[in-house]
A and B are shown apart, each in its own frame.
Chain A
Amino acid sequence: KNEVEQSPQNLTAQEGEFITINCSYSVGISALHWLQQHPGGGIVSLFMLSSGKKKHGRLIATINIQEKHSSLHITASHPRDSAVYICAVLGGGADGLTFGKGTHLIIQP
């Protein structure tokens, strides 16, 4: 069973700051997902990656397969980025994602 650890669990920052959320996992994977969940809301897929780096707007996700580690970065953070960010990994079988417990991010104006 893959163990997925995220850090930090909670993060409060000021608008404009550069944000980094980390994710590590214990067993090799076929893909890693970064998800976003707003309070009371659904879950949105931000990135899916199996190697290297992806960028979408102010969000950047990187993965190091050898180190079993991924990071999600937010540049020029904004209060609307406030949400729970969840790391999840997909193994090689037919079963579903294994999730981290999430990072609760609050961006203050």
Chain B
Amino acid sequence: DAGITQSPRHKVTETGTPVTLRCHQTENHRYMYWYRQDPGHGLRLIHYSYGVKDTDKGEVSDGYSVSRSKTEDFLLTLESATSSQTSVYFCATLAGRERNQPQHFGDGTRLSIL
């Protein structure tokens, strides 16, 4: 959908290790988002970007950092992964803030921290 590719799709790692998730889009959309989805909480915003090198924190940003050096790539980094960061992570893009613009989602990354 809208040329969004998330990598990896699945990852299992240990507590304390660094992890980077990548979101790549081919639609030249300005806005990019990282969400996490957990049972009982639904989807929650971690970080977002409104342009190259322009990022800001979302609702659950603690323990995460992001970078956007190119329009097409938005990276999410867990500097030192904890078990509470076990989740499914979705990247999404939005072409513009106009009311008729749908948000497009990647297929998700299932991350398990042991």
Q: Which of B40, B41, B97 contacts A94 (CB 8 A)?
A: B97
* A25 CB-CB contact with B under 8 Å: no
Known: A86-B42, A96-B35, A99-B42. A33 touches B48 (CB 8 A): no
List the interface of chain A (C-beta within 8 A of B): 1, 30-31, 33, 35, 41-45, 48, 50, 86, 88, 90, 94-102
- Contact between A33 and B103 (Cβ–Cβ < 8 Å)? yes
Question: Considering residues B35, B40, B42, B92, which has the most beta carbons from chain A within 10 angstroms of its beta carbon?
Answer: B42
Query: Is B100 part of the binding interface, using a Cβ–Cβ cutoff of 8 Å?
Result: yes
Report yes or no: A42 in contact with B48, Cβ–Cβ below 8 A: no
Segment at the A interface, from B13-21, B65-73, B74-82, B105-113: B105-113
Interface string of B39-74 (1 = CB under 8 A from A): 011111100101000001011000000000000000
Q: Are B42 and A42 in touch, CB under 8 angstroms? A: no
Contact of B43 among A31, A50, A86, A90 (CB under 8 A): A86
Find out whether the CB atom of A42 lies under 8 angstroms from the CB atom of B56.
no
A93 nearest CB neighbor, chain B only: B97
A45 contacts B56, C-beta separation under 8 Å: no
Q: Do A48 and B101 touch (CB < 8 A)?
A: yes
By the criterion CB–CB under 8 Å, are A48 and B102 in contact? yes
